Amino acid sequence: DFVPVSTNNGSLHKLLHSIRDEDLLLHVEGACLSLQTLLVRLAQMKEESRNFHRLMIQPIERKRERDSTMLEKKDERLFEESS
């Protein structure tokens, strides 16, 4: 038996207290714990992705920009020397 519960803040807490069937309550609590674990892992993965980008990808991007700038300057010098 479910008691109608709004979906506002605290609704999960209210929902858990509204469940009368003990087995169903255990399943819902287990699902909530699984969801909480997944959300924590997702936050960790997001942070790991940011760190990877900052430590690995950004230096490569900066090097490409420097190399590109150096090539442009070299091309300009060669053009000036040839004219």
Decide which of 15 and 73 is more confident: 73
Give pLDDT, residue 18.
79
Domain boundaries, the chain: 11-82
Give pLDDT, residue 67.
92
Give pLDDT, residue 45.
96
Q: Give the tens place of pLDDT for each residue, 44-66.
A: 999 999 999 999 999 999 999 99
Q: Give the tens place of pLDDT for each residue, 3-45.
A: 554 555 567 777 777 778 888 888 888 888 899 999 999 999 9
DSSP string, 5-43: --SSTTHHHHHHHH---HHHHHHHHHHHHHHHHHHHHHH
